[in-house]
Structure 1
């Protein structure tokens, strides 16, 4: 059997606004898919860009168009610098997620900026991008899209859980892959860390120093989203409308908010996994470096919580968006209707030539 071979650049910007993750990946396929990360790094957002992206939710249509143009040029610069630094000129494609500004699947709308055709022209490379819009048009949530990669690249694990801006989980159920968002994670924790002058809560030290507040915990646990069946997904709109108003009245003690919120995250994740020592769950995303959160989670489940090498922890989503791009180039299914609720499995993404 001839080995199938692709080298691509996976590019991901998450809702936690950490920065742009770039992963240069070699994908091969014999009887199954394999990957190797050749180079990977994160370009941090400046405070100015963080503010622009954060404020994008409130932009007018015209302002969004301007932001999209500006961000596409900015993203092209970040990608070009990475390509020059690591001599990645011979790529099959740059596979870019863009940055989510608005995600309202219930209204048939999602917007990821940085996916304009000029990205390919600026890079002088083929670009595969804009993976979510088609799914929403087919009645799906447009998220999560990572589960096809979980299924084909990380098959040995019962669960794949990512702790980024939001926690999402992916698993097999009755022969189908299912996945959904569980709760907000770093979108909330980083928000309160920044109020204390920190970019994030290093190791969960701030949260650990706080006290558990049962009243706050009870309010969080009662949120209606948690009672919904999958498919379901979350965006910053939900954080702003459902989470932050609850937390606001407790802000006189931010460490205790963070302590209680970590307890809440751990509880919600544990509810979505079998409490079984034979079960192994792969945990990735920046949240796994929050030692306090991971300790709380392990207290709430007997399942084995597996944390891989740091390059997988940090760049799994960039790897999988690279993989989504490869599948698009092959016109193979890269979005599962069992996950998103779309009308059917499909091959999403747009391909732009330079």
Structure 2
């Protein structure tokens, strides 16, 4: 199609569910079509490396940054060959978040852009968060610009990934923030029961709610903060899991209690912001027990879209962030992140491949 842009979005979340690859066409700033997409599962070795990376020395982390970039580039190349994709204007990569401490003005997503470009032979846009953080923002969430322009028909958009985050328009201004952890915690407990994740919430369903733990979780200070606010792996490890670990209860009881806690926190936001309908995407949608818990608590109309959007909305929107960046348009909203101004964020690596 004339004047259309074809690009590939890459998304790898904190829950390490896999690498999402999304091939999409943008006709303009409001119209798109996902042409094909898939999730590449991480090997046990890669999962371990990415899980342990925050403990690495500076030298080892620099090495992993390039190694992971090569991996991403190789996966793009295979994806293009398998799907006979010939037209790509650029690859847009989220990277893998290792550190995220906006209060201290730093964040790190590994997956070196030059390394990606060297393997897939395409222009690459990456590192979308750093500029926002040094401008005083949270560097997250970044998806709301896509929610604002591509999904404006919904009151709110809720993503259930490693963390749950919400985006909505209030008084002609887009606001968004992280609500609570979700899959990053549920997956961790499921691994203690011998599974990568709690399929359909079956483990949680077998547990019992520990009221004391639930009360303490609901009293966590983060939930009292006003937006903009965001969460990171360090917070989960040092605060959330440390709190849960004080309770000598079964893993299934911990799962059940956390499911109720997360549903409660999300419903609190629905109520506070008077939301009537919400588009829900992300891996957490597959957790039938969690979704049912949320529906029991809430009077909001919950809209679950087609499988492509459930699984690949974030990869789609990171492609959109790249689309806005290469056209030098705003892709990061100060109203969302708290930065000093709206801006166009991301580093561009031109393809240096020659036939």
TM bucket normalised to smaller? over 0.9
For the pair 1:203 / 2:200, whether they are aligned, the reply is yes
Alpha-carbon separation, structure 1, partners of 2:314 and 2:248: 33
Question: 1:87/1:251 Cα in 2 relative to 1: closer, same or farther (>3 Å)?
Answer: farther
Match of 1:10 in 2: 9
Q: CA deviation at 1:89?
A: 2.8
For the pair 1:231 / 2:245, whether they are aligned, the reply is no
State how 1:215-294 maps to structure 2 within 5 Å.
Answer: 215-274=212-271, 279-294=276-291
Question: 1:81/1:251 Cα in 2 relative to 1: closer, same or farther (>3 Å)?
Answer: farther
Q: CA deviation at 1:78?
A: 1.2
Alpha-carbon separation, structure 2, partners of 1:132 and 1:288: 26
> CA offsets per residue over residues 155-183 of structure 1, 9 Å max, x none?
01101000000000000112110000000
Equivalent residue in structure 1 for 2:337, among 333, 336, 340: 340
Q: CA deviation at 1:116?
A: 3.2
Match of 1:296 in 2: 293
SS of equivalent residue, structure 1 residue 157:
coil
What stretches of structure 1 move > 6 A for 4+ residues in a row? 275-278
Alpha-carbon separation, structure 1, partners of 2:274 and 2:225: 27
Match of 1:140 in 2: 137
Match of 1:104 in 2: 101
> CA offsets per residue over residues 36-55 of structure 1, 9 Å max, x none?
11110000011111110010
Match of 2:43 in 1: 46
Alpha-carbon separation, structure 2, partners of 1:147 and 1:136: 16
Q: Are the counterparts in 2 of residues 275 and 302 from structure 1 also a CA contact under 8 Å?
A: no
Equivalent residue in structure 2 for 1:159, among 139, 156, 161: 156
Q: Are the counterparts in 1 of residues 113 and 125 from structure 2 also a CA contact under 8 Å?
A: no
Q: Are the counterparts in 2 of residues 121 and 353 from structure 1 also a CA contact under 8 Å?
A: no
TM-score by length of 2: 0.96
Alpha-carbon separation, structure 1, partners of 2:344 and 2:175: 17
Alpha-carbon separation, structure 1, partners of 2:260 and 2:147: 26
Q: Are the counterparts in 1 of residues 156 and 275 from structure 2 also a CA contact under 8 Å?
A: no
Equivalent residue in structure 1 for 2:66, among 65, 69, 89: 69
Alpha-carbon separation, structure 2, partners of 1:310 and 1:201: 19
Question: 1:99/1:276 Cα in 2 relative to 1: closer, same or farther (>3 Å)?
Answer: closer
Q: Are the counterparts in 2 of residues 132 and 143 from structure 1 also a CA contact under 8 Å?
A: yes
CA RMSD of aligned residues (A): 1.5
Alpha-carbon separation, structure 2, partners of 1:228 and 1:277: 18
Question: 1:340/1:278 Cα in 2 relative to 1: closer, same or farther (>3 Å)?
Answer: closer
SS of equivalent residue, structure 1 residue 346:
coil
TM-score by length of 1: 0.96
Equivalent residue in structure 1 for 2:121, among 121, 124, 140: 124
Question: 1:332/1:243 Cα in 2 relative to 1: closer, same or farther (>3 Å)?
Answer: same
Match of 1:19 in 2: 18
Alpha-carbon separation, structure 2, partners of 1:231 and 1:52: 31
> CA offsets per residue over residues 246-269 of structure 1, 9 Å max, x none?
111335411111001000000000
Alpha-carbon separation, structure 1, partners of 2:112 and 2:342: 22
SS of equivalent residue, structure 2 residue 9:
strand
Q: CA deviation at 1:308?
A: 0.3
> CA offsets per residue over residues 269-302 of structure 1, 9 Å max, x none?
0111138998110000000111111111111111
SS of equivalent residue, structure 1 residue 15:
coil
For structure 2, the residue ranges without an aligned partner over 5 or more in a row are none
Q: CA deviation at 1:118?
A: 2.6
For structure 1, the residue ranges without an aligned partner over 5 or more in a row are none
Alpha-carbon separation, structure 2, partners of 1:117 and 1:278: 42
Question: 1:83/1:3 Cα in 2 relative to 1: closer, same or farther (>3 Å)?
Answer: closer
Alpha-carbon separation, structure 1, partners of 2:281 and 2:11: 14
Alpha-carbon separation, structure 1, partners of 2:2 and 2:273: 38
Question: 1:42/1:251 Cα in 2 relative to 1: closer, same or farther (>3 Å)?
Answer: farther
Alpha-carbon separation, structure 2, partners of 1:277 and 1:56: 40
Alpha-carbon separation, structure 2, partners of 1:335 and 1:110: 15
